[in-house]
Amino acid sequence: MVRNNYSTRPHRRTVKKNRKLFLILSVIPVIFLFNAAPGADETDPNFNSRRYDDYDKPAYCGTSCHTDFYRQWQQAMMSQAYVHHWDEIEYFDLAVPHAAKDPVVAGVKDGCNACHTPLAYMAGDTPPPRPEKNSRANEAVSCEVCHTITGFRGDTPYNGNYISEPGRNKYGPRTTGNSPAHEMVKSDFLGTTEFCGTCHNEKSPYGVWVKSTQLEWKEGPYAKEDIRCHECHMTYAPAQTASMGAAYPDARQHLFHGAHDNGKVRGTIELRIHPDILEAEPGETVKFTLALFNQKTGHKFPTGSVEDRIVWLHVEAVDAAGRVYHLPVDPKGFEGEEYTIAADVLGYQDMGIALDKPDFPGVQRDGVPVGDRIFRMPYLDPQGRITIQQWNTKSLGVDYRLGPRETKLETFTFNLPDDVTPGEMTVTAVLNYQKLVAPVADFLNVPEEEKEIVVVNQHSTHITVLP
Protein backbone atom coordinates (compact mmCIF):
# COMPACT_ATOMS: atom_id res chain seq x y z
CA MET A 1 0.00 0.00 0.00
CA VAL A 2 1.12 3.68 -0.63
CA ARG A 3 1.85 5.43 2.62
CA ASN A 4 2.97 8.92 3.77
CA ASN A 5 5.62 10.23 1.43
CA TYR A 6 7.07 13.69 1.17
CA SER A 7 9.88 15.69 -0.29
CA THR A 8 12.66 17.09 1.84
CA ARG A 9 13.18 19.83 -0.76
CA PRO A 10 11.65 23.34 -0.65
CA HIS A 11 9.03 24.24 -3.18
CA ARG A 12 9.92 26.51 -6.07
CA ARG A 13 7.44 29.15 -4.90
CA THR A 14 9.28 29.58 -1.57
CA VAL A 15 12.88 29.68 -2.82
CA LYS A 16 12.75 33.31 -3.94
CA LYS A 17 11.09 34.35 -0.71
CA ASN A 18 13.66 32.49 1.40
CA ARG A 19 16.53 34.22 -0.45
CA LYS A 20 15.04 37.60 0.48
CA LEU A 21 14.84 36.53 4.10
CA PHE A 22 18.40 35.19 4.20
CA LEU A 23 20.07 38.40 5.42
CA ILE A 24 17.47 38.93 8.13
CA LEU A 25 17.63 35.36 9.31
CA SER A 26 21.42 35.46 9.44
CA VAL A 27 21.39 38.09 12.19
CA ILE A 28 18.12 37.33 14.01
CA PRO A 29 17.60 34.19 16.12
CA VAL A 30 15.87 31.63 13.97
CA ILE A 31 12.30 31.50 15.17
CA PHE A 32 10.62 31.10 11.78
CA LEU A 33 9.23 27.86 10.41
CA PHE A 34 10.18 27.13 6.82
CA ASN A 35 8.08 25.34 4.24
CA ALA A 36 10.60 22.56 3.81
CA ALA A 37 13.57 20.93 5.47
CA PRO A 38 16.59 23.22 5.95
CA GLY A 39 19.67 22.51 3.88
CA ALA A 40 17.80 21.62 0.70
CA ASP A 41 18.91 23.49 -2.38
CA GLU A 42 16.66 22.41 -5.23
CA THR A 43 12.98 22.26 -6.01
CA ASP A 44 10.83 19.20 -6.59
CA PRO A 45 9.85 19.36 -10.27
CA ASN A 46 6.58 17.54 -9.60
CA PHE A 47 5.13 19.94 -7.06
CA ASN A 48 2.70 22.51 -8.51
CA SER A 49 3.72 21.48 -12.03
CA ARG A 50 0.36 20.30 -13.44
CA ARG A 51 -3.37 20.96 -13.33
CA TYR A 52 -6.10 18.56 -12.31
CA ASP A 53 -7.55 18.96 -15.80
CA ASP A 54 -4.39 17.48 -17.31
CA TYR A 55 -5.62 14.08 -16.11
CA ASP A 56 -8.78 12.14 -16.88
CA LYS A 57 -10.97 11.02 -13.99
CA PRO A 58 -11.01 7.29 -13.13
CA ALA A 59 -14.67 7.02 -14.08
CA TYR A 60 -13.82 8.19 -17.58
CA CYS A 61 -11.50 5.21 -17.96
CA GLY A 62 -13.69 2.73 -16.16
CA THR A 63 -17.32 3.24 -17.07
CA SER A 64 -17.12 2.19 -20.73
CA CYS A 65 -13.80 0.63 -21.69
CA HIS A 66 -11.76 -0.64 -18.73
CA THR A 67 -14.77 -1.57 -16.59
CA ASP A 68 -13.32 -4.69 -14.97
CA PHE A 69 -10.02 -3.10 -14.00
CA TYR A 70 -11.90 -0.04 -12.74
CA ARG A 71 -13.96 -2.19 -10.39
CA GLN A 72 -10.83 -3.93 -9.15
CA TRP A 73 -9.16 -0.57 -8.54
CA GLN A 74 -12.19 0.74 -6.63
CA GLN A 75 -11.76 -2.07 -4.10
CA ALA A 76 -7.99 -1.67 -3.82
CA MET A 77 -6.05 0.60 -1.50
CA MET A 78 -4.77 2.50 -4.55
CA SER A 79 -8.19 4.15 -4.78
CA GLN A 80 -8.25 4.80 -1.03
CA ALA A 81 -4.74 6.11 -0.46
CA TYR A 82 -6.11 9.56 0.39
CA VAL A 83 -9.58 8.78 1.78
CA HIS A 84 -8.59 5.86 4.02
CA HIS A 85 -9.59 6.68 7.59
CA TRP A 86 -6.22 6.09 9.28
CA ASP A 87 -4.32 8.02 6.61
CA GLU A 88 -6.70 10.96 7.03
CA ILE A 89 -6.26 10.96 10.81
CA GLU A 90 -2.51 10.59 10.58
CA TYR A 91 -2.12 13.36 8.02
CA PHE A 92 -4.54 16.00 9.35
CA ASP A 93 -4.28 15.31 13.09
CA LEU A 94 -0.57 14.50 13.37
CA ALA A 95 1.50 15.32 10.27
CA VAL A 96 0.15 18.74 9.32
CA PRO A 97 0.19 20.19 12.88
CA HIS A 98 3.64 18.69 13.45
CA ALA A 99 4.92 20.22 10.21
CA ALA A 100 3.83 23.66 11.40
CA LYS A 101 5.92 23.35 14.57
CA ASP A 102 9.14 21.68 13.46
CA PRO A 103 11.17 23.11 10.56
CA VAL A 104 12.94 19.80 10.03
CA VAL A 105 9.71 18.01 9.11
CA ALA A 106 7.90 20.98 7.55
CA GLY A 107 7.92 19.33 4.12
CA VAL A 108 5.46 16.68 5.27
CA LYS A 109 2.55 19.10 4.82
CA ASP A 110 2.99 18.97 1.06
CA GLY A 111 5.10 15.94 0.37
CA CYS A 112 2.88 13.21 1.88
CA ASN A 113 0.52 13.89 -0.97
CA ALA A 114 3.06 13.02 -3.66
CA CYS A 115 2.06 9.39 -3.18
CA HIS A 116 -1.28 9.54 -1.38
CA THR A 117 -2.91 11.90 -3.86
CA PRO A 118 -0.43 12.63 -6.65
CA LEU A 119 -2.80 14.82 -8.68
CA ALA A 120 -3.30 17.16 -5.72
CA TYR A 121 0.45 17.29 -5.17
CA MET A 122 1.23 18.01 -8.80
CA ALA A 123 -1.54 20.64 -8.83
CA GLY A 124 -0.08 22.30 -5.73
CA ASP A 125 -3.34 21.70 -3.88
CA THR A 126 -1.86 21.01 -0.45
CA PRO A 127 -3.06 20.38 2.11
CA PRO A 128 -5.87 19.04 -0.03
CA PRO A 129 -9.51 19.42 1.03
CA ARG A 130 -10.57 16.78 3.51
CA PRO A 131 -12.13 13.68 1.93
CA GLU A 132 -15.68 14.72 2.83
CA LYS A 133 -15.30 17.67 0.41
CA ASN A 134 -15.17 15.13 -2.42
CA SER A 135 -12.52 17.01 -4.39
CA ARG A 136 -10.33 15.45 -7.06
CA ALA A 137 -7.78 14.74 -4.35
CA ASN A 138 -10.05 11.81 -3.46
CA GLU A 139 -9.00 10.05 -6.68
CA ALA A 140 -5.80 9.06 -4.83
CA VAL A 141 -3.62 6.84 -7.03
CA SER A 142 -5.82 6.79 -10.11
CA CYS A 143 -5.53 5.20 -13.54
CA GLU A 144 -4.00 8.34 -15.01
CA VAL A 145 -1.35 8.55 -12.31
CA CYS A 146 0.23 5.21 -13.17
CA HIS A 147 -0.40 5.20 -16.91
CA THR A 148 1.28 8.59 -17.44
CA ILE A 149 4.48 7.74 -15.57
CA THR A 150 7.50 7.33 -17.85
CA GLY A 151 10.39 7.01 -15.37
CA PHE A 152 11.93 8.54 -12.27
CA ARG A 153 14.48 11.18 -11.45
CA GLY A 154 17.80 10.27 -9.88
CA ASP A 155 19.47 6.96 -9.15
CA THR A 156 17.01 5.47 -6.64
CA PRO A 157 13.21 5.48 -6.77
CA TYR A 158 11.76 7.00 -3.60
CA ASN A 159 9.68 9.84 -2.15
CA GLY A 160 7.49 10.22 -5.23
CA ASN A 161 10.30 11.03 -7.68
CA TYR A 162 8.31 9.69 -10.63
CA ILE A 163 8.08 11.51 -13.96
CA SER A 164 4.49 12.06 -15.12
CA GLU A 165 3.72 13.04 -18.72
CA PRO A 166 -0.04 13.44 -19.13
CA GLY A 167 -1.60 13.62 -22.55
CA ARG A 168 -3.01 11.38 -25.23
CA ASN A 169 -0.26 8.81 -24.78
CA LYS A 170 -1.08 6.17 -22.17
CA TYR A 171 1.74 3.89 -21.12
CA GLY A 172 1.23 0.19 -20.57
CA PRO A 173 2.73 -3.26 -21.20
CA ARG A 174 1.80 -3.55 -24.90
CA THR A 175 1.09 -1.59 -28.08
CA THR A 176 -1.27 -4.05 -29.78
CA GLY A 177 -4.84 -2.98 -30.44
CA ASN A 178 -6.41 0.40 -31.06
CA SER A 179 -8.22 2.80 -28.75
CA PRO A 180 -10.39 5.73 -29.80
CA ALA A 181 -9.64 7.44 -26.50
CA HIS A 182 -5.84 7.42 -26.43
CA GLU A 183 -2.63 6.19 -27.98
CA MET A 184 -1.17 2.96 -26.59
CA VAL A 185 2.52 3.29 -25.86
CA LYS A 186 4.54 0.33 -24.64
CA SER A 187 6.46 1.07 -21.47
CA ASP A 188 9.07 -1.31 -20.13
CA PHE A 189 9.35 0.90 -17.06
CA LEU A 190 5.84 0.04 -15.85
CA GLY A 191 6.94 -3.58 -15.54
CA THR A 192 9.91 -2.78 -13.30
CA THR A 193 10.08 -2.79 -9.51
CA GLU A 194 11.54 0.71 -9.70
CA PHE A 195 8.13 1.89 -10.89
CA CYS A 196 6.64 0.65 -7.60
CA GLY A 197 9.62 1.93 -5.63
CA THR A 198 8.92 5.58 -6.44
CA CYS A 199 6.29 5.44 -3.71
CA HIS A 200 7.06 2.25 -1.80
CA ASN A 201 10.53 3.49 -0.86
CA GLU A 202 10.72 6.52 1.41
CA LYS A 203 13.30 8.50 3.34
CA SER A 204 12.44 10.62 6.33
CA PRO A 205 13.69 14.22 6.53
CA TYR A 206 16.51 12.80 8.66
CA GLY A 207 17.69 10.61 5.77
CA VAL A 208 16.40 7.34 7.23
CA TRP A 209 14.78 4.69 5.04
CA VAL A 210 11.35 4.47 6.65
CA LYS A 211 9.89 2.49 3.76
CA SER A 212 12.05 0.21 1.69
CA THR A 213 9.81 -2.48 0.22
CA GLN A 214 11.37 -2.33 -3.24
CA LEU A 215 14.88 -2.15 -1.77
CA GLU A 216 14.13 -5.18 0.42
CA TRP A 217 13.05 -7.05 -2.70
CA LYS A 218 16.22 -5.97 -4.50
CA GLU A 219 18.38 -7.41 -1.72
CA GLY A 220 16.45 -10.67 -1.49
CA PRO A 221 16.31 -13.95 -3.41
CA TYR A 222 13.36 -13.08 -5.66
CA ALA A 223 15.25 -10.27 -7.39
CA LYS A 224 17.89 -12.75 -8.50
CA GLU A 225 15.12 -14.86 -10.04
CA ASP A 226 13.47 -11.80 -11.64
CA ILE A 227 10.21 -12.39 -9.76
CA ARG A 228 8.84 -8.85 -9.49
CA CYS A 229 6.19 -7.02 -7.49
CA HIS A 230 3.63 -7.51 -10.28
CA GLU A 231 3.80 -11.29 -9.99
CA CYS A 232 2.10 -11.15 -6.59
CA HIS A 233 0.27 -7.82 -6.50
CA MET A 234 -0.87 -7.58 -10.14
CA THR A 235 -1.31 -11.25 -10.96
CA TYR A 236 -1.71 -12.34 -14.59
CA ALA A 237 -4.80 -13.99 -16.04
CA PRO A 238 -6.39 -14.56 -19.47
CA ALA A 239 -8.71 -11.58 -19.90
CA GLN A 240 -9.69 -8.60 -21.98
CA THR A 241 -7.95 -5.38 -20.98
CA ALA A 242 -10.78 -3.32 -22.49
CA SER A 243 -14.40 -4.17 -23.13
CA MET A 244 -13.99 -3.73 -26.88
CA GLY A 245 -10.44 -5.03 -27.01
CA ALA A 246 -8.72 -8.33 -27.57
CA ALA A 247 -8.24 -11.02 -24.96
CA TYR A 248 -4.70 -11.64 -23.78
CA PRO A 249 -3.27 -14.66 -21.95
CA ASP A 250 -1.37 -12.44 -19.50
CA ALA A 251 -3.59 -9.49 -18.64
CA ARG A 252 -2.35 -7.87 -15.43
CA GLN A 253 -5.14 -7.79 -12.87
CA HIS A 254 -5.45 -4.49 -10.98
CA LEU A 255 -5.97 -6.07 -7.55
CA PHE A 256 -3.03 -4.51 -5.69
CA HIS A 257 -3.78 -6.77 -2.70
CA GLY A 258 -1.33 -6.36 0.15
CA ALA A 259 -1.17 -5.33 3.80
CA HIS A 260 -4.88 -4.42 3.95
CA ASP A 261 -6.04 -7.67 2.35
CA ASN A 262 -6.57 -10.37 4.97
CA GLY A 263 -6.43 -13.09 2.35
CA LYS A 264 -3.00 -11.89 1.30
CA VAL A 265 -1.73 -11.73 4.87
CA ARG A 266 -3.02 -15.12 5.96
CA GLY A 267 -0.57 -17.93 5.36
CA THR A 268 2.36 -15.61 4.74
CA ILE A 269 4.40 -17.31 7.45
CA GLU A 270 4.42 -21.07 8.09
CA LEU A 271 4.63 -22.25 11.71
CA ARG A 272 5.75 -25.55 13.22
CA ILE A 273 6.18 -26.14 16.97
CA HIS A 274 7.59 -29.24 18.69
CA PRO A 275 8.67 -30.27 22.24
CA ASP A 276 12.04 -31.64 23.26
CA ILE A 277 10.34 -34.47 25.22
CA LEU A 278 6.96 -36.12 24.71
CA GLU A 279 6.24 -37.05 28.34
CA ALA A 280 6.86 -35.05 31.51
CA GLU A 281 5.85 -35.07 35.17
CA PRO A 282 4.54 -32.06 37.09
CA GLY A 283 7.47 -29.83 38.06
CA GLU A 284 9.57 -30.89 35.06
CA THR A 285 10.72 -28.52 32.33
CA VAL A 286 9.74 -28.89 28.68
CA LYS A 287 11.33 -26.81 25.95
CA PHE A 288 9.28 -26.05 22.85
CA THR A 289 10.94 -24.93 19.64
CA LEU A 290 9.01 -23.00 17.03
CA ALA A 291 10.11 -22.50 13.42
CA LEU A 292 8.68 -19.62 11.41
CA PHE A 293 9.27 -19.64 7.65
CA ASN A 294 8.47 -16.72 5.36
CA GLN A 295 7.38 -18.63 2.29
CA LYS A 296 5.22 -15.99 0.61
CA THR A 297 6.63 -12.46 0.44
CA GLY A 298 9.36 -11.12 -1.82
CA HIS A 299 10.19 -8.52 0.83
CA LYS A 300 10.30 -8.55 4.60
CA PHE A 301 7.22 -9.22 6.70
CA PRO A 302 5.88 -6.85 7.80
CA THR A 303 6.95 -4.22 5.28
CA GLY A 304 5.84 -0.77 4.17
CA SER A 305 4.38 1.08 7.13
CA VAL A 306 6.47 -0.87 9.61
CA GLU A 307 6.00 1.82 12.25
CA ASP A 308 2.26 1.07 12.30
CA ARG A 309 2.23 -2.70 11.91
CA ILE A 310 2.57 -5.21 14.71
CA VAL A 311 3.14 -8.93 14.20
CA TRP A 312 3.41 -11.05 17.33
CA LEU A 313 3.71 -14.67 18.35
CA HIS A 314 1.49 -15.96 21.15
CA VAL A 315 1.95 -19.46 22.65
CA GLU A 316 -0.44 -21.14 25.06
CA ALA A 317 -0.58 -24.54 26.72
CA VAL A 318 -3.90 -26.12 27.70
CA ASP A 319 -3.88 -29.06 30.12
CA ALA A 320 -6.36 -31.94 30.32
CA ALA A 321 -8.62 -29.96 32.66
CA GLY A 322 -8.77 -26.99 30.24
CA ARG A 323 -6.55 -24.71 32.26
CA VAL A 324 -4.61 -22.26 30.06
CA TYR A 325 -0.96 -21.31 30.59
CA HIS A 326 0.74 -18.47 28.69
CA LEU A 327 4.30 -19.28 27.57
CA PRO A 328 6.56 -16.21 27.22
CA VAL A 329 9.32 -16.40 24.61
CA ASP A 330 12.88 -17.19 25.70
CA PRO A 331 15.07 -14.09 25.27
CA LYS A 332 18.01 -14.46 22.87
CA GLY A 333 20.08 -11.59 24.22
CA PHE A 334 20.68 -9.56 21.05
CA GLU A 335 20.99 -5.78 21.10
CA GLY A 336 17.64 -4.04 20.95
CA GLU A 337 15.69 -7.18 21.82
CA GLU A 338 13.62 -5.25 24.34
CA TYR A 339 11.58 -3.87 21.43
CA THR A 340 10.80 -7.39 20.20
CA ILE A 341 9.34 -8.78 23.43
CA ALA A 342 5.99 -7.33 24.47
CA ALA A 343 6.19 -5.31 27.68
CA ASP A 344 4.03 -3.05 29.82
CA VAL A 345 5.74 0.18 28.77
CA LEU A 346 4.72 3.45 27.15
CA GLY A 347 5.71 4.81 23.76
CA TYR A 348 4.82 7.25 20.96
CA GLN A 349 5.33 10.30 23.16
CA ASP A 350 6.11 12.48 20.13
CA MET A 351 2.41 12.52 19.21
CA GLY A 352 2.26 15.21 21.87
CA ILE A 353 3.96 17.68 19.50
CA ALA A 354 1.04 17.76 17.09
CA LEU A 355 -1.51 17.51 19.91
CA ASP A 356 -0.09 20.47 21.86
CA LYS A 357 0.71 18.23 24.81
CA PRO A 358 4.39 18.81 25.62
CA ASP A 359 4.28 16.44 28.60
CA PHE A 360 2.33 13.72 26.80
CA PRO A 361 3.28 10.45 28.55
CA GLY A 362 2.49 8.28 25.55
CA VAL A 363 0.31 5.20 25.24
CA GLN A 364 1.00 1.50 25.63
CA ARG A 365 3.76 0.54 23.23
CA ASP A 366 2.50 -2.89 22.21
CA GLY A 367 -1.00 -3.70 23.41
CA VAL A 368 -0.37 -7.46 23.23
CA PRO A 369 0.30 -10.04 25.98
CA VAL A 370 3.52 -9.33 27.88
CA GLY A 371 6.24 -11.78 26.95
CA ASP A 372 5.09 -12.45 23.38
CA ARG A 373 7.65 -12.19 20.61
CA ILE A 374 7.15 -9.22 18.26
CA PHE A 375 8.52 -9.14 14.72
CA ARG A 376 9.16 -5.47 14.08
CA MET A 377 11.72 -2.78 13.38
CA PRO A 378 11.19 0.12 15.79
CA TYR A 379 11.30 3.66 14.42
CA LEU A 380 12.93 6.09 16.83
CA ASP A 381 12.33 9.84 17.09
CA PRO A 382 15.11 12.43 17.65
CA GLN A 383 14.90 11.71 21.40
CA GLY A 384 15.36 7.97 20.82
CA ARG A 385 11.72 7.06 21.62
CA ILE A 386 9.62 4.69 19.57
CA THR A 387 7.34 6.52 17.14
CA ILE A 388 4.57 5.78 14.66
CA GLN A 389 5.34 9.08 12.90
CA GLN A 390 7.66 8.04 10.09
CA TRP A 391 8.41 11.66 9.17
CA ASN A 392 9.84 12.13 12.69
CA THR A 393 12.13 9.10 12.47
CA LYS A 394 15.78 9.92 13.07
CA SER A 395 17.04 6.36 13.58
CA LEU A 396 15.96 2.73 13.44
CA GLY A 397 16.15 0.03 16.06
CA VAL A 398 16.91 -3.64 15.53
CA ASP A 399 15.33 -5.14 12.40
CA TYR A 400 13.65 -8.29 13.69
CA ARG A 401 11.28 -8.93 10.82
CA LEU A 402 11.05 -12.06 8.69
CA GLY A 403 12.94 -11.78 5.42
CA PRO A 404 11.91 -13.53 2.22
CA ARG A 405 12.53 -17.29 2.55
CA GLU A 406 13.99 -16.72 6.02
CA THR A 407 13.39 -19.13 8.90
CA LYS A 408 13.54 -17.92 12.49
CA LEU A 409 13.61 -20.25 15.50
CA GLU A 410 12.04 -19.27 18.80
CA THR A 411 12.04 -21.30 22.02
CA PHE A 412 9.65 -21.41 24.95
CA THR A 413 10.77 -23.03 28.19
CA PHE A 414 7.81 -24.24 30.27
CA ASN A 415 8.14 -25.38 33.87
CA LEU A 416 5.09 -27.57 34.39
CA PRO A 417 3.20 -26.45 37.51
CA ASP A 418 3.00 -28.92 40.37
CA ASP A 419 -0.79 -28.91 40.15
CA VAL A 420 -1.02 -29.41 36.39
CA THR A 421 -3.65 -31.96 35.41
CA PRO A 422 -2.25 -35.28 34.10
CA GLY A 423 -3.17 -36.27 30.57
CA GLU A 424 -2.71 -34.72 27.15
CA MET A 425 -1.49 -31.14 27.05
CA THR A 426 -1.92 -29.15 23.83
CA VAL A 427 0.48 -26.32 23.04
CA THR A 428 -0.57 -23.90 20.30
CA ALA A 429 1.44 -21.14 18.63
CA VAL A 430 -0.46 -18.36 16.88
CA LEU A 431 1.10 -15.62 14.76
CA ASN A 432 -1.07 -12.48 14.79
CA TYR A 433 -1.06 -9.32 12.70
CA GLN A 434 -2.55 -5.86 13.17
CA LYS A 435 -2.36 -2.98 10.70
CA LEU A 436 -2.04 -0.46 13.54
CA VAL A 437 -0.91 -0.88 17.14
CA ALA A 438 -4.15 -1.11 19.12
CA PRO A 439 -3.36 1.47 21.86
CA VAL A 440 -2.56 4.06 19.18
CA ALA A 441 -5.76 3.23 17.32
CA ASP A 442 -7.77 3.58 20.54
CA PHE A 443 -6.15 6.86 21.51
CA LEU A 444 -6.72 8.48 18.11
CA ASN A 445 -10.22 7.02 17.67
CA VAL A 446 -9.26 5.12 14.54
CA PRO A 447 -12.06 2.81 13.31
CA GLU A 448 -12.05 -0.67 14.79
CA GLU A 449 -11.14 -2.40 11.52
CA GLU A 450 -7.64 -0.91 11.64
CA LYS A 451 -6.82 -2.87 14.79
CA GLU A 452 -8.52 -6.08 13.67
CA ILE A 453 -6.43 -9.10 14.66
CA VAL A 454 -5.66 -11.26 11.65
CA VAL A 455 -4.34 -14.76 12.32
CA VAL A 456 -1.43 -15.24 9.94
CA ASN A 457 -0.99 -18.89 10.86
CA GLN A 458 -1.02 -21.32 13.76
CA HIS A 459 0.18 -24.77 14.70
CA SER A 460 -0.26 -27.12 17.68
CA THR A 461 1.74 -29.90 19.28
CA HIS A 462 1.12 -32.24 22.23
CA ILE A 463 2.85 -33.75 25.23
CA THR A 464 1.61 -36.17 27.87
CA VAL A 465 1.65 -35.05 31.48
CA LEU A 466 2.28 -38.06 33.64
CA PRO A 467 0.48 -38.63 36.96
pTM: 0.90
Give mean pLDDT, residues 324-331. 98
* β-pair partners for 380: 386, 395
Please give the average per-residue pLDDT across 141-145, as a whole number. 98
Pairing of strands 209-212, 247-252: unpaired
Contacts of 331 (CB under 8 A, 6+ apart): 337, 341
Q: Give the pairing type, strands 346-347 and 363-364.
A: antiparallel
Nearest to 315 by CA among 432, 159, 405, 148: 432
Domain 263-465 class, CATH top level: mainly beta
Q: In the chain, which residues fall in CATH 2.60.40.3880?
A: 263-465
- What is the pLDDT confidence band of residue 222, given thresholds at 50, 70 and 90? very high
Question: For residue range 61-95, what is the model confidence (pLDDT) as tens digits?
Answer: 999 899 999 999 999 999 999 999 999 999 999 99
For residue 198, which of 151, 264, 261, 259 has the smallest C-alpha distance? 151
- Burial degree of 93 (CB within 10 A; 0-12, 13-18, 19+): middle
Taking only the tens place, the pLDDT of each residue in 171-220 is: 999 987 778 889 999 999 999 999 999 999 999 999 999 999 999 999 99
Altogether, the residues listed in the chain come to a count of 467
Q: What is the pLDDT of residues 430-440, one digit of tens each?
A: 999 999 999 99
Q: Please tell me the predicted confidence (pLDDT) of residue 38.
A: 28
* DSSP secondary structure code for residue 342 in this structure: -
Phi/psi-derived region of residue 355, left when phi > 0, alpha when psi is between -120 and 50, beta in every other case: alpha
Q: Which of 454 and 18 is assigned the larger pLDDT?
A: 454
Q: How far apart are CA 463 and CA 282, in angstroms?
A: 12
Q: Do the beta carbons of residue 78 and residue 234 sit within 8 Å?
A: no
What is the share, in percent, of the chain residues with pLDDT greater than 70? Answer: 91
pLDDT at site 382: 98
Nearest to 390 by CA among 401, 379, 398: 379
- Quick check: 7 pLDDT over 70? no
Who's near 9: CB < 8 A, 6+ residues apart?
36, 37, 40, 42, 43, 44, 107
pLDDT in tens, 241-273: 999 888 999 999 999 999 999 999 999 999 999
251 bridge partner residues = 237
User: What is the H or E stretch that residue 15 is in?
Assistant: helix 12-27
